[in-house]
């Protein structure tokens, strides 16, 4: 099982911490941290690149030494320099470092001077005053760390973006009600970039009286704890989630928004670019270093324009090559929710959906969709009340009768058909041939090893009746790991067989994810954004799939269901070798 990018990134992050504790050059620390962040957003697995002997140094932030370390960890499973450094430091340093409020310096002292190696021991050392006795530590500092530890645990939890959006919207509404002087108020940070999980919520606003707004914010009944409260920013806890609020005058809002939308790596690169132009960027504006004159920006587009850059949408601000491309005017016009003309994955009460067929169709019409596919589960999905052949035949007939009565929307009679453990489909080819649209999905035997799972999905794609693979990796955010399917091999097979790959919009799925979608886009694999609706409200989750597609640099042309009906049907029939 090759090592994943996420695992390699983790090692570089920890290596950076070890180097920092050792007191080595802060720039070396930053280089490792930068490499870790870059690796996380890479669209290709490094193990794949090593296997193909691709030049890792083509990636920004990866030079000779880091490339060699990556090669080492991919081929041997270990990084000697990291293991050596880890062994040379007292046990537990890295564990203690995970605790919010404790940095490398403090972690080192706690591990060395106090011999603390676990979080439990740390709690005792905090409580009995041993930590407070260390230099530059005191009563208040230790109490604050202890409290965070007890209320939020050792590691900051990240929540799916779909769960944090409502919290953000609730806080915005509450603060607006209490603060009529508040003008703009909007989320920034990872939430605005549509990262799949969010660690904290950043809210940005404008007001002529920032301090009054911040006071009101800290006093909101929703707030369980105030973490920091200064004249320009405040941080609080709401439902266990940290929310930061910054307020500036209206004419500086563009700068504030840009600064706190990030990503961190994107901003660093942008500020480096500014430095080369004799400029300095902060959250209030752009300063000419020689004259000290500061220019303020009320909107982000004019800020990017001032740096001779095309506007970069938040979803693309990942610190990869977006700034270079913006300089060349090569930022594409990304797909938007309004571009979606159809939805190709929806369930009714015939299987595990809540609403009857009529309600699902009516809601789709109200959203202005031109076509939908009704795709209830197949017979093997007994838990999901899957349809046997008889029920399917009646269901299809019912769908076609309704469809014939509706001039303004096309309803395709389809099915979400189980891909069985051996890669065969859960209905016969004859039955599949009678359907207008077939989603092939894995719902069972998810623990298969890599070879078996990959072969299974590829075999399904080789079936000429399968139009799209649903939720390819089967992950459930926070609950189930992705299957062992080799995504690269599967995408290559999708290209070869002309099978589309779904971007599933269910909040806990978001499957395929952004980096996979980027790879599919680069390879030319057709994608379909589907909500997998189980009740009519679920159609609105399309915005989450759009977020993934935008982070993958998708334009409308990369997504089949942006095509009008005729074009869409021609496309899925034309793509597939039948």
The residues of the shown chain that bind DNA, judged by CB under 7 A, are 25, 27-28, 30-32, 35, 57, 60-67, 100-107, 132, 135-142, 144, 156, 189, 199-200, 202, 228-233, 242, 244, 260, 264, 267-268, 271-272, 274-276, 280-283
- Secondary structure element (H or E) that encloses residue 493, with its range: helix 487-497
CA distances from residue 230 to 135, 210, 246, 247 in whole angstroms, order as listed: 26, 10, 10, 11
Q: How far is the CB of 77 from DNA (least distance, A)?
A: 20
DSSP designation for 387: B
- Judged by CB, which is closer to DNA: 107, or 346? 107
- Judged by CB, which is closer to DNA: 66, or 506? 66
Q: How far is the CB of 288 from DNA (least distance, A)?
A: 11
- Judged by CB, which is closer to DNA: 271, or 398? 271
Is there a contact between 246 and 201 (Cβ–Cβ < 8 Å)? no
- Judged by CB, which is closer to DNA: 126, or 461? 126
Q: How far is the CB of 333 from DNA (least distance, A)?
A: 24
CA dihedral 199, 38, 513, 328 (to 10 degrees): 110
Residue partners of 251: CB distance under 8 A and separation at least 6 = 296, 297, 298
Q: How far is the CB of 107 from DNA (least distance, A)?
A: 6
Which residues share a beta bridge with 229? 234
Q: How far is the CB of 90 from DNA (least distance, A)?
A: 15
Can you read off the two tokens belonging to residue 86?
């880890």
- Judged by CB, which is closer to DNA: 273, or 458? 273
Q: How far is the CB of 54 from DNA (least distance, A)?
A: 15
- Judged by CB, which is closer to DNA: 244, or 502? 244
- Judged by CB, which is closer to DNA: 62, or 396? 62
Q: How far is the CB of 360 from DNA (least distance, A)?
A: 41
Distance CA 176, CA 450 (A): 51
Can you read off the two tokens belonging to residue 291?
């004259």
Which residues share a beta bridge with 186? 204
- Judged by CB, which is closer to DNA: 106, or 370? 106
User: How would you classify the pairing of strands 197-198 and 159-160?
Assistant: antiparallel
- Judged by CB, which is closer to DNA: 218, or 446? 218
Using alpha carbons only, what angle is made at residue 275 by residues 305 and 204, rounded to the nearest 5 degrees?
A: 55
Q: How far is the CB of 34 from DNA (least distance, A)?
A: 7
- Judged by CB, which is closer to DNA: 32, or 253? 32
- Secondary structure element (H or E) that encloses residue 437, with its range: strand 437-441
For residue 192, give the nearest of 309, 316, 303 by alpha carbon.
Answer: 316
Q: How far is the CB of 145 from DNA (least distance, A)?
A: 9
* 523 dihedral zone (left: phi>0; alpha: psi -120 to 50; beta): alpha
- Secondary structure element (H or E) that encloses residue 185, with its range: strand 185-187
CA dihedral 533, 534, 535, 541 (to 10 degrees): -30
Q: How far is the CB of 262 from DNA (least distance, A)?
A: 7
Number of H helices, E strands in the chain: 24, 17
Q: How far is the CB of 268 from DNA (least distance, A)?
A: 5
> Where are the alpha helices (H) located in 300-435, listed in sequence order?
300-306, 322-327, 357-366, 389-404, 429-433
- Judged by CB, which is closer to DNA: 103, or 574? 103
- Judged by CB, which is closer to DNA: 103, or 524? 103
Can you read off the two tokens belonging to residue 60?
């920004």
For residue 440, give the nearest of 461, 454, 422 by alpha carbon.
Answer: 461
β-sheet with 294-295: strand ranges across: 279-282, 285-288, 294-295
- Judged by CB, which is closer to DNA: 259, or 536? 259
Q: How far is the CB of 24 from DNA (least distance, A)?
A: 8
Residue partners of 68: CB distance under 8 A and separation at least 6 = none
Q: How far is the CB of 51 from DNA (least distance, A)?
A: 20
CA distances from residue 41 to 66, 136, 196, 261 in whole angstroms, order as listed: 17, 37, 12, 16
For residue 351, give the nearest of 383, 396, 393, 398 by alpha carbon.
Answer: 383
- Judged by CB, which is closer to DNA: 247, or 512? 247
DSSP designation for 577: -
Q: How far is the CB of 261 from DNA (least distance, A)?
A: 10
Is there a contact between 395 and 417 (Cβ–Cβ < 8 Å)? no
- Judged by CB, which is closer to DNA: 65, or 428? 65
Q: How far is the CB of 61 from DNA (least distance, A)?
A: 5
Asked if the bond preceding 263 is cis, omega within 30° of 0, the reply is: yes
Residue partners of 404: CB distance under 8 A and separation at least 6 = none
Residue partners of 494: CB distance under 8 A and separation at least 6 = 461, 469, 500, 501, 520, 525, 526
- How many CB atoms are located within 10 Å of the residue 262 CB? 21
């Amino acid at each position: 099982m090759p090592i994943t990018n996420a695992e390699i990134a983790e090692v570089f992050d920890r290596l950076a911490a070890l180097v920092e504790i050792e007191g080595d050059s802060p720039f070396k620390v930053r280089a490792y941290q930068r490499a870790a962040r870059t690796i996380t957003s890479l669209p290709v697995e490094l193990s794949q690149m090593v296997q193909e002997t691709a030049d890792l140094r083509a990636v920004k932030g990866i030079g000779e030494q880091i490339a060699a370390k990556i090669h080492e960890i991919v081929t041997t499973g270990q990084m000697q320099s990291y293991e050596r450094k880890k062994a040379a430091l007292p046990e537990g340093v890295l564990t203690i470092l995970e605790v919010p409020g404790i940095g490398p310096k403090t972690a080192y002292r706690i591990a060395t001077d106090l011999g603390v190696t676990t979080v439990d021991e740390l709690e005792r050392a905090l409580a009995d005053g041993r930590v407070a006795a260390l230099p530059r530590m005191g009563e208040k500092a230790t109490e604050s760390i202890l409290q965070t530890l007890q209320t939020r645990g050792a590691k900051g939890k990240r929540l799916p973006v779909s769960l944090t959006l409502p919290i953000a919207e609730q806080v915005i509404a509450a603060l607006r009600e209490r603060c009529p002087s508040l003008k703009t108020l909007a989320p920034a940070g990872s939430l605005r970039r549509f990262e799949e999980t969010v660690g904290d919520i950043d809210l940005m606003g404008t007001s002529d009286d920032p301090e009054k707004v911040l006071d009101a914010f800290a006093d909101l009944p929703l707030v369980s704890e105030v973490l920091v409260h200064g004249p320009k920013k405040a941080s609080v806890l709401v439902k266990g989630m940290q929310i930061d609020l910054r307020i500036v005058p209206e004419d500086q809002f563009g700068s504030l928004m840009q600064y706190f939308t990030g990503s961190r790596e994107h901003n660093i690169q942008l500020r480096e670019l500014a430095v080369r132009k004799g400029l300095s960027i902060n959250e209030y504006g752009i300063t000419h270093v020689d004259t000290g004159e500061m220019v303020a920006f009320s909107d982000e587009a004019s800020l990017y324009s001032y740096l001779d850059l095309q506007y970069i949408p938040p979803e693309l601000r990942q610190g990869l090559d977006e700034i270079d491309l913006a300089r060349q005017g090569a930022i594409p016009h990304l797909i938007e929710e309004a571009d979606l003309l159809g939805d190709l994955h929806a369930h009714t009460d015939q299987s595990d959906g809540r609403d009857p067929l009529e309600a699902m169709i009516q809601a789709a019409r109200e959203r202005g969709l031109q076509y939908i596919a009704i795709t209830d589960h197949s017979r093997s999905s007994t838990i999901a009340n899957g349809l046997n052949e008889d029920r399917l035949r009646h269901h299809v007939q019912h769908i076609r009768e309704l469809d014939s009565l509706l001039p303004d929307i096309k309803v395709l009679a389809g099915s979400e058909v189980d891909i069985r453990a051996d890669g065969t489909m859960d209905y016969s080819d004859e039955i599949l041939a009678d359907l207008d649209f077939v989603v092939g999905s894995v719902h069972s035997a998810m623990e298969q090893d890599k070879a078996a799972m990959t072969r299974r999905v590829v075999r399904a794609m080789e079936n000429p009746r399968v139009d799209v693979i649903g939720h390819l990796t089967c992950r459930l955010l926070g609950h189930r790991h992705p299957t062992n399917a080799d995504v690269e091999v599967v995408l290559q097979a999708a290209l070869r067989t002309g099978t589309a790959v779904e971007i599933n919009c269910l909040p806990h799925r978001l499957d395929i994810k952004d980096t996979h979608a980027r790879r599919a886009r680069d390879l030319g694999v057709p994608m379909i954004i589907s909500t997998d609706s189980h009740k009519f409200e679920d159609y609105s989750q399309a915005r989450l799939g759009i977020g993934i597609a935008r982070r993958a640099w998708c334009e409308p042309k990369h997504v089949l269901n942006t095509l009008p009906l005729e074009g869409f049907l021609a496309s899925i029939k034309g793509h597939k070798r039948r």
